[in-house]
Structure 1
Amino acid sequence: MDYQRLTIRGISYSQTQSGAYALLLEHEESNVKLPVVIGNYEAQAISLGLEKDIHPPRPLTHDLFTKFVVSANFSLVSVIIYQIVDGVFFSNLNFKNNITAEELILDARTSDAVAMAVRFNAPIYTTPQVLSEAGILLELEEPTAEENFDNAANEGDLTSLPMEDLQKLLEDAVKEEDFDAAMEIQNEIKRRNKKIE
């Protein structure tokens, strides 16, 4: 099958569902976005997987499963988002044994599959059908995240903003795909978190 490769463009707080987040995946060639609604725990699991330098004191479920997979001499080769039914995405984890080359395919929630993919640096794919059914092409106007970031910078540097405001600015920056602002805000959040530890 002609699979389409996706990249993670960001995670933002869902404007439509309370307590939920939107994982934004993007087709590399067409820039079509695939929004996947995920829960708070799943958003945290994916975010921690993306942040390679942050290690929780105790292993989270996805970290524990990753360790088990590696101990069993398997690697995650790819994640395939193969179907969408009534707004629910279905995914497979494709494993391969490093010694015997045996292949193992496991069904998984898409949020869990992506959380595992970031831990293994495995590619994420979908089918053209899923992309055409659920994909959207976002045409953004002037990025409000950049304006918010500029306002914060003009009123005083980021160090003067409360952590809650920084988190909101970061969510806006990711949503608006202003990754320069997001990086600077994230660095300030990391700096503060290191002080707390």
Structure 2
Amino acid sequence: MDYKRLTIRGISYSQTQSGAYALLLEHEETNIKLPIVIGNFEAQSISLGLEKDIHPPRPLTHDLFSKFVTAAHFEISSVIIYQIIDGVFFSNINFKNKDSGEEMILDARTSDAVAMAVRFEAAIYTTQQVLSEAGILLELDDLSKQEETIDQMAGEGDLVALNLEELQKLLDDAVKDEDFDSALEIQEELKRRKKKID
């Protein structure tokens, strides 16, 4: 299968879900962004994994599992985000034994898989289908300069009442503000309309 490589672009606090964060992954070739809502603990663990110089006084769960994987003479070769169902991402962690070359695949929550990938500097991949379903393309030059925010516009009426141009503006603003939960809702409305046209 032709997998698409992703890079971590950042983690931000979710403006719509209390206590949640948005992990932003990006496809290197097309710049399509893949926003994934994750919990506070996972966001902290991924951030600490990315910051190699910061070491917590006691090992986090992902650090402990990383030590176990290394002690068992395995390494993580890659992480694959292979599916999205009802907004939930599904991932596999691919392990390889350093001695025998034996390969092993474990199902994992995407946030855990990414937290492990950063500790082993393993590649993160996804499928074209996942990118098509959940990806957001952000063109920085085309961002609208109007001052209305997504919350203000959405508060004036339901997304269904807006035209395509207004929805696209809302989507651009949501991505700019890193409000990925709202961006996903708007993108679903855009996809629903495109299906009707097709």
- TM-score of the alignment, normalized to the shorter chain, above 0.5: yes
The amino acid of 1:111's aligned partner reads S
Is contact 1:10-1:174 (8 Å) kept?
Answer: no
SS at match of 1:45: helix
Query: Shift of the alpha carbon at 1:13?
Result: 0.5
Aligned residues: 147
* Aligned positions of 1:81-120 closer than 5 A: 81-120=81-120
Is contact 1:11-1:174 (8 Å) kept?
Answer: no
SS at match of 1:101: coil
Is contact 1:95-1:103 (8 Å) kept?
Answer: yes
The amino acid of 1:131's aligned partner reads L
* Aligned positions of 1:12-161 closer than 5 A: 12-140=12-140, 141=143
Judged with a 3 Å threshold, the aligned counterparts in structure 2 of structure 1 residues 118 and 90 are, in CA distance, closer, same or farther, namely same
Provide the C-alpha distance between the structure 2 equivalents of 1:135 and 1:175, rounded to a whole number of angstroms: 14
Is contact 1:84-1:130 (8 Å) kept?
Answer: yes
Cα RMSD of the aligned pairs, angstroms, is 1.9
Provide the C-alpha distance between the structure 2 equivalents of 1:112 and 1:67, rounded to a whole number of angstroms: 15
Q: Which runs of 5+ in 1 are unaligned?
A: 144-172, 177-197
The amino acid of 2:114's aligned partner reads V
Is contact 1:7-1:26 (8 Å) kept?
Answer: yes
Q: Deviations over 1:139-174 (max 9, x none)?
A: 34499xxxxxxxxxxxxxxxxxxxxxxxxxxxxx99
Aligned to 2:173: none
Q: Which runs of 5+ in 2 are unaligned?
A: 146-175, 180-198
Provide the C-alpha distance between the structure 2 equivalents of 1:117 and 1:142, rounded to a whole number of angstroms: 36
Provide the C-alpha distance between the structure 2 equivalents of 1:67 and 1:25, rounded to a whole number of angstroms: 26
Q: Deviations over 1:11-32 (max 9, x none)?
A: 0011221111000000000000
Provide the C-alpha distance between the structure 2 equivalents of 1:138 and 1:19, rounded to a whole number of angstroms: 25
* Runs of at least 4 residues off by over 2 Å: 139-143, 173-176
Instruction: State percent identity of aligned pairs.
Output: 80
Is contact 1:10-1:175 (8 Å) kept?
Answer: no
TM-score (normalizing by structure 2): 0.71
Between 14-23 and 80-89, the greater mean CA deviation after superposition: 14-23
SS at match of 1:58: coil
SS at match of 1:124: strand
Provide the C-alpha distance between the structure 2 equivalents of 1:175 and 1:88, rounded to a whole number of angstroms: 19
Provide the C-alpha distance between the structure 1 equivalents of 2:135 and 2:8, rounded to a whole number of angstroms: 14
Provide the C-alpha distance between the structure 2 equivalents of 1:5 and 1:73, rounded to a whole number of angstroms: 26
